[in-house]
Chains A and B, each alone.
Chain A
Amino acid sequence: MKKVATPEYDIKDKLKYHVSALSTAAKEVVMPLNITTHYPRERRKWPDCFRGYILFDPERCISCFECSFVCPANAIWMKEAPSGRYYPTLDYGKCIFCHFCVDSCPGGALRSTKIHDVAYKNMDEMFTHTEEMIEPPEIIREDEGYVEYEIDKEDLTLKRTKGKDKLIVDVAPSQGVPMVSLCIDRGSCIACKVCEKVCESGAVSSLLDEAKMIIKMKIDSEKCTGCGLCVKECSMQILRLVRRE
Chain B
Amino acid sequence: MEEYKNANMRIINSGPLAPFRKWASKWSLWPCHFITSCCGVELAHAFAAGYDGERLGTLNMGISRQSNYIIIEGTITRKMARALQFVWGQMPDPKFVNVIGACGERGGIFWNSYNITHPSDIVPVDFFIPGCPITPEALLRGVRATQDKIVGIDRKTIEFKRVELPFEKQLEERMVPTSPKLFAPTPLIKVDVKREVDWGKELEDNLKNKLEGLYESITITGKSSIAIKTTQENLKEVAQKLREQMKLDHVKSVNVIEVPHERKFIVEYIISSYTEEELMPVLVTVFVEIGLKDPKIESLTSIWESANYSEREMHEFFGVLFDGNKGMGKKFILAPDTPDLPLRKEFKIPEERYVFEKDMPLDELMVPIEPPKDLYIPISEEFIEEAYDNDEIVVPIGPHHAGSGHLRVTFRIKGDIIVEAIPEPGFVHRSMEKLAENRLYIQNVPLFERLAINDPVNMNLGYVRTLENALGIEVPERAQYLRTIMAELSRIEAFYYDSGIFSLFFGHTTGFMYSMAIREMVIEVLMGMTGSRSGPSFLVPGGIRRDISDDVLKLTDNLTFAIHKRMKKFEDIFVYNPVTIARAKGVGVLTKADAIRCGIVGPFLRASGVNYDIRKIAPYEAYDKLDWEVTTGDDGDCLGRFLGRLAEIKESVRIIKQAVDAVRSIKGPILSADILGEYKEAASDIKGNFFRVFGNLVLPKGEWTTITEAGRGTLLFSIISDGESNVPYRVRVISPCWMNLRGFMEALKGARYADFWAVYGSFGYFPPEADR
Contact = CB atoms under 8 A, between A and B. Distances in A.
Consider the complex of A and B and state whether they touch directly, i.e. have CB atoms less than 8 Å apart. Answer: yes
Interface of A: 1-7, 9, 13-14, 17-18, 20-21, 24-25, 28, 33-40, 43-44, 46-47, 49-51, 58-59, 65-87, 89, 91-100, 102-106, 108, 112, 115-140, 142, 149, 151-156, 174-177, 194, 197-198, 200, 202, 228-229, 232-233, 241, 243
A77 B566 contact: no
Given A70-B690, A108-B688, 20 more contacts: A1-B632, A6-B639, A9-B581, A35-B520, A43-B137, A47-B527, A47-B531, A50-B532, A72-B447, A78-B354, A79-B356, A83-B170, A106-B689, A119-B142, A126-B105, A156-B524, A175-B688, A177-B681, A194-B175, A198-B175
Contact of A156 (B178, B566, B643, B644): B566
B165 A116 contact: no
B520 A155 contact: no
- Please classify how large the interface on chain B is, using the bins under 10, 10 to 19, 20 to 34, 35 or more: 35 or more
A118 to B, nearest CB: 5
Nearest to B171: A84
A7 B105 contact: no
A41 to B, nearest CB: 9
Given A120-B129, A149-B524, A72 B446 contact: yes
Contacts of B578: 9, 13-14, 17-18, 21
A128 B116 CA distance: 23
Given A66-B695, A117-B135, A198-B174, A4 B577 contact: no
A176 to B, nearest CB: 3
A46 B136 CA distance: 12
Nearest to B178: A233
Interface in B99-147: 102, 105-109, 111-112, 120, 126-132, 134-138, 140-142, 144-145
Contacts of B179: 69
Nearest to A68: B354
Contact of B51 (A6, A37, A71, A78): A37
B562 A153 contact: yes
B111 A73 contact: yes
A197 B174 CA distance: 5
Contacts of B634: 3, 5
24 contacts: A1-B632, A4-B632, A21-B576, A37-B50, A46-B527, A72-B445, A80-B355, A82-B165, A85-B168, A87-B165, A94-B106, A100-B537, A108-B688, A116-B137, A120-B158, A121-B156, A134-B165, A137-B159, A140-B141, A151-B525, A155-B562, A156-B566, A232-B177, A232-B180
A34 to B, nearest CB: 8
A51 B529 CA distance: 11
Given A4-B640, A35-B517, A200-B174, A116 B162 contact: no
Given A66-B692, A131-B163, A132-B160, A153 B561 contact: yes
Interface of B: 49-52, 55, 98, 102, 105-109, 111-112, 120, 126-132, 134-138, 140-142, 144-145, 155-180, 352-356, 362-363, 439-440, 442-447, 510, 517, 520-521, 524-525, 527-528, 530-532, 535, 537, 545, 552, 555, 558-559, 561-562, 565-566, 569, 572-574, 576-578, 581, 585, 607, 611, 629-635, 637, 639-640, 643-644, 647, 651, 678-679, 681-682, 685-692, 694-695
A6 B112 CA distance: 47
B50 A233 contact: no
Contacts of A125: 156
Contacts of A132: 160-162
A73 B171 contact: no
Given A119-B128, A140-B155, A130 B165 contact: yes
Contacts of B363: 123
A156 B446 contact: no
